[in-house]
Amino acid sequence: MTEASSVSFNYEPVASVYTIIYSGEDKEWAKKHKSKENPFPSNRRRATYTDGIDAIYKDAVSKGANGIIGLKYHAIYDGIYLDYIYVEGMAIKKK
């Protein structure tokens, strides 16, 4: 993975990959912690760059790629709080 728009080896472009990760309630955590005593558990989660990178990496690999170039990411704030992370890049396969 690199932010550079090109690399020093031959490659084949596979696909553009991107994702949006929102801050909000962690539904998987809530499912695990639901009980009679606490029927509506809450765990607010902030969007992170790591979540975005992981998501486009998995998408790229599922399309047969073994690298990502032109990596870009943006944090969007709603007032003072982080609302979401946008991550994009070009999935490539080294020849």
Q: Which domains does the chain have, with CATH numbers?
A: 11-94 (3.30.110)
Q: Which distant-in-sequence residues (6+ apart) come within 8 Å of 41 by Cβ?
A: 29, 30, 33, 34, 35
Distance (Å) of CA 22 to CA 2, 25, 28, 67, 75: 23, 9, 14, 25, 10
- The pLDDT confidence band at residue 32, using thresholds 50, 70 and 90, is confident
* Residue 6, pLDDT score: 87
Q: What is the pLDDT of residues 37-58, one digit of tens each?
A: 877 777 778 888 999 999 999 9
What digits encode the pLDDT tens for the residues 69-91?
Answer: 999 999 999 888 889 999 999 99
Which stretches within the chain are classed as H helix? 27-33, 49-62
What pLDDT sits at residue 30? 76
- The pLDDT tens digits for 14-31 are 999 999 999 887 778 777
The pLDDT assigned to 82 comes to 84
